Amino acid sequence: MHDHAPLFSAYDKDAEVIPVYCVDPRQFGTMRLGLPKTGSFRAKFLIEALRDLRLRLIDLGAQLHILYGKPEEVLPDFLRAVEADALYFSEEITSEEVAVEKAVEAAAWKAGVATESFWQQTLFHISDLPFPVGQTPEVFTQFRKECEKFSKIRPAYPAPDELYYPFPDVPKGDIPTLAVLGLEEPEVSDRGVLVFEGGEGPALARLQTYFWENDCLKVYKETRNGLLGADYSSKFSPWLALGCISPRYIYEEVARYEKERKKNQSTYWLVFELIWRDYFKFIAKKHGNKIFWLQGIKPNAEKWQRNEALFQRWVEGQTGIPFVDANMRELAETGFMSNRGRQNVASFLVNDLNIDWRWGASYFESVLIDYDVCSNWGNWMYVAGVGNDPRENRYFAILKQAKNYDAKGDYVRHWVPELAALPGYDIQKPFDLPPGTLKKYGISLGGHYPHPMVKMRAIY
């Protein structure tokens, strides 16, 4: 409800408002490799968010109407039935969503209903960029510096305090269930970093806990590369991705924290990360469908292999490289993985296995609870060397990374319990240990834990 440009504009005009959400079957189909387009973690999160939204709208004297079907097919009848004058929606960036917007606009026009779209999602409004979006700098630092110097972040819109809603007799429609969406209830893992619950209420509660109760913002820069526990990073991403919390609202809360508690490098760094998020959105807007191409935004495609058996071992966390396996198992069991983990497993897939990076991006798209089309494909392009990384041939030396970020092996011990007996850093490289040591700890490589798929580059 907060910082919702279409809703606030309608409220501000004292217009009658009828909020609608369409459950579009295209979001629940399958894609590359037969993967569900929306996996059950994200679908559950969406259902929770709809429930929360309905309750919030009821509090404002309104209702959330749920329609099933393609918006361009189901909206016109609905608009006619409620005699709508205008349809307000928020503007999207990537091609599938933009195609739906265009189809909806055409259908609304035929039904005699005006449409108006609103830019939201980003910290910097697209109209306030200091360059045309088509000239967004390819290097992040340049993008950030220009935005910081020449643009201002607009204030977040407040949430309306009540809505003018004279539609009590219009059928409201049921909130979907996972079964209706063709998905199974995911098991809630007690090993995950956080139990993510969809909706604006849980999003605001998470900010309250992370910033104000646990006072973590002042140490964010030092903790953000962590792997275990709720508070090494904000965990705002699933709520940001679905629009349950706005980046401008977070920005304002950072400013308030800086005034009331502490201002330091860490408080700035959270905003810095939100600028990364903006950057990938404007890069996607600039490059269109290229972000989904094998060669990305580079002129030539390199040679990539498409080996499903190798890919599957990566997916299942059975590569024989404990740091990779721990991260992949966390993702499969919870729908979440840290930023450090994402960089490492992505690099392993593209640099060590040389597998088509789009397979990895598609798997993330399916499973991530915080899937965001621009952040996901932008980051994957970046790691795969076909995007905006100014450094050529960036390579994450997994064992070195494991040494820097999980030196005692606690993270691997958490997710790869079959190796738990191995002490300290030894757990990161069972393949380098003498047979006698492995035997002493009851580890059988090729038995209950696999041999490594590739020989790791010995940088550690």
Ligand X SMILES: Cc1cc2nc3c(=O)[nH]c(=O)nc-3n(C[C@H](O)[C@H](O)[C@H](O)COP(=O)(O)OP(=O)(O)OC[C@H]3O[C@@H](n4cnc5c(N)ncnc54)[C@H](O)[C@@H]3O)c2cc1C
User: Residue positions in the annotated binding site for FAD?
Assistant: 220, 233-237, 370-372
What is the phi/psi pair of residue 365, to 5°? Answer: -55, -40
State yes or no: residue 267 binds ligand X (CB under 6 A): no
Q: Using CB under 6 A, which of 2, 37, 54, 235 touches ligand X?
A: 235
Give residue for tokens 């399916």: 366
Question: How far from the centroid of its chain's Cα atoms is residue 88's Cα?
Answer: 25
Instruction: Collect all residues with Cβ–Cβ distance below 8 Å to 247 and sequence separation of at least 6.
Output: 121, 122, 123, 240, 274, 277, 278
Question: How far from the centroid of its chain's Cα atoms is residue 440's Cα?
Answer: 42
Stretch binding ligand X (CB under 6 A), from 42-50, 80-88, 170-178, 364-372: 364-372
Report the alpha-carbon distance of residue 186 to residue 214 in Å, rounded.
29
Q: Using CB under 6 A, which of 49, 175, 346, 399 touches ligand X?
A: 346
State yes or no: residue 379 binds ligand X (CB under 6 A): yes
Q: Using CB atoms within 10 Å of the CB of residue 171, give its burial: 0 to 12 exposed, 13 to 18 middle, 19+ buried.
A: exposed
Q: State in angstroms the smallest separation of the CB of 83 from ligand X.
A: 39
Q: State in angstroms the smallest separation of the CB of 368 from ligand X.
A: 5
Stretch binding ligand X (CB under 6 A), from 142-150, 351-359, 366-374, 424-432: 366-374
State yes or no: residue 266 binds ligand X (CB under 6 A): no
Amino acid symbol at 362: S
Nearer to ligand X, 234 or 334 (CB): 234
Nearer to ligand X, 325 or 372 (CB): 372
State yes or no: residue 383 binds ligand X (CB under 6 A): yes
Report the alpha-carbon distance of residue 139 to residue 145 in Å, rounded.
10
State yes or no: residue 355 binds ligand X (CB under 6 A): no
Stretch binding ligand X (CB under 6 A), from 57-65, 127-135, 143-151, 336-344: 336-344
Q: Using CB under 6 A, which of 241, 254, 367, 456 touches ligand X?
A: 241
Nearer to ligand X, 70 or 263 (CB): 263
Q: Using CB under 6 A, which of 121, 319, 338, 401 touches ligand X?
A: 338
Report the alpha-carbon distance of residue 433 to residue 322 in Å, rounded.
13
Q: State in angstroms the smallest separation of the CB of 180 from ligand X.
A: 25
Q: Which two tokens stand for residue 432?
A: 């380098």
Q: How many residues bind ligand X (CB under 6 A)?
A: 29
Nearer to ligand X, 175 or 203 (CB): 203
Q: Which residues pair with 117 in a beta bridge?
A: 89
State yes or no: residue 375 binds ligand X (CB under 6 A): yes
Q: State in angstroms the smallest separation of the CB of 208 from ligand X.
A: 15
State yes or no: residue 329 binds ligand X (CB under 6 A): no
Instruction: Collect all residues with Cβ–Cβ distance below 8 Å to 426 and sequence separation of at least 6.
Output: 409, 433, 437
Nearer to ligand X, 84 or 227 (CB): 227
What is the distance in angstroms between the CA of the first residue and the CA of the last residue of the chain? 49
Report the alpha-carbon distance of residue 363 to residue 345 in Å, rounded.
12
Instruction: Annotate each residue in 38-67 with x if it binds ligand X (CB under 6 A) or - if it does not, as one string.
Output: ------------------------------
Stretch binding ligand X (CB under 6 A), from 146-154, 293-301, 341-349, 415-423: 341-349
State yes or no: residue 165 binds ligand X (CB under 6 A): no
Taken in order 384, 389, 395, 396, the sign of the CA dihedral is negative
Report the alpha-carbon distance of residue 311 to residue 314 in Å, rounded.
5
Q: Using CB under 6 A, which of 10, 20, 66, 240 touches ligand X?
A: 240
DSSP designation for 20? E
Residues 195-234 that bind ligand X (CB under 6 A): 224, 233-234
Q: Using CB under 6 A, which of 8, 280, 323, 396 touches ligand X?
A: 280
Q: Which two tokens stand for residue 56?
A: 């919030």
What percent helix, strand, coil does the chain show, rounded to 5? 50, 5, 45
State yes or no: residue 376 binds ligand X (CB under 6 A): yes
Report the alpha-carbon distance of residue 283 to residue 250 in Å, rounded.
22
Report the alpha-carbon distance of residue 132 to residue 277 in Å, rounded.
18
Q: Using CB under 6 A, which of 78, 380, 411, 449 touches ligand X?
A: 380
Alpha helices of 196-264 — where are they, by DSSP H? Answer: 200-207, 220-223, 237-242, 247-260
Annotated binding site: 220, 233-237, 370-372
What residues make contact with ligand X under the rule CB under 6 A?
Answer: 224, 233-237, 240-241, 270, 273-274, 276-277, 280, 338-339, 342-343, 346, 364, 368, 370-372, 375-376, 379-380, 383
